[in-house]
């Protein structure tokens, strides 16, 4: 396994994408480099309008934004690697959260929409890309934030001690870390 991974995330501010190059060759992951790429203003305006529409923006607009956001994410990956002087062949995989357009965990049939196609990111970068992390969590009855609780457990979990971690962002997350190793997360 190549021990280098790239993580991509964008927040509810819808102003751009953060990219992180993580070296997993040692006993602990190490942040090797970061890059922040701003969304072009025209895309940011359209994203905010689509998110405010609560799913009424239209399929054609959502699909166009999906492709455009993927291109911005791919550009961030390439800029990250260029800045780190890292050969793309050294990357095992990219993990992309995508940009949330709609998140309805309390709906009769809970659903969520993240755009920024992992398939397009893979095509534009030539790297394996995984994404759509929220959908499976919601299908299993979760709130659609499966990664934060796992990270919180790794960082803050202690055997025999129950803890809670609050991540205050555009959408806050609460992780309950049970002393027996169990973890539960909520948005």
Sorted by where each begins, the domain ranges of the chain are 4-139, 147-182
Q: How many helices (H) and strands (E) would you count in the chain?
A: 5, 10
Question: At residue 86, does pLDDT exceed 90?
Answer: yes
Question: At residue 57, does pLDDT exceed 80?
Answer: yes
Tokens of 58: 């239209």
Give domain 4-139's CATH number out of 3.30.110.30, 3.10.20.30, 3.30.420.40, 1.20.1250.20: 3.30.420.40
| Tokens 């072009």 found at | 40
Instruction: Name the least confident of 6-10, 30-34, 144-148.
Output: 144-148
Tokens of 31: 């942040």
Global confidence as pTM: 0.88
Over residues 159-174, mean pLDDT: 85
Q: What is the pLDDT of residue 121?
A: 99
Average pLDDT, the chain: 91
Q: Which residue has the higher pLDDT, 28 or 19?
A: 19
Q: What is the pLDDT of residue 4?
A: 97
Question: At residue 1, does pLDDT exceed 70?
Answer: no
Query: Is the dihedral angle over the CA atoms 173, 174, 178, 184 positive or is it negative?
Result: negative
């Amino acid at each position: 396994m190549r021990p280098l991974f790239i993580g991509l995330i964008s927040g509810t501010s819808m102003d751009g994408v953060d990219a992180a190059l993580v070296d997993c060759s040692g006993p602990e992951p190490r942040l090797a480099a970061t890059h922040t790429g701003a969304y072009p203003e025209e895309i940011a305006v359209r994203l905010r309008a689509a998110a405010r529409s609560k799913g009424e923006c239209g399929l054609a607009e959502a699909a166009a934004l999906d492709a455009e956001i993927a291109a911005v994410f791919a550009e961030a990956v390439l800029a990250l690697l260029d800045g780190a002087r890292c050969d793309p062949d050294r990357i095992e995989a990219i993990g992309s959260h995508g940009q949330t357009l709609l998140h309805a965990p309390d709906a009769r049939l809970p659903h969520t929409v993240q755009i920024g196609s992992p398939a397009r990111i893979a095509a534009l970068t030539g790297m394996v890309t995984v994404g759509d992390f929220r959908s499976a969590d919601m299908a299993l009855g979760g709130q659609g934030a499966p990664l934060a609780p796992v990270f919180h457990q790794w960082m803050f979990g202690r055997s025999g001690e129950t803890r809670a971690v609050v991540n205050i962002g555009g959408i806050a997350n609460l992780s309950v870390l049970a002393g027996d190793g169990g973890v539960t997360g909520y948005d």
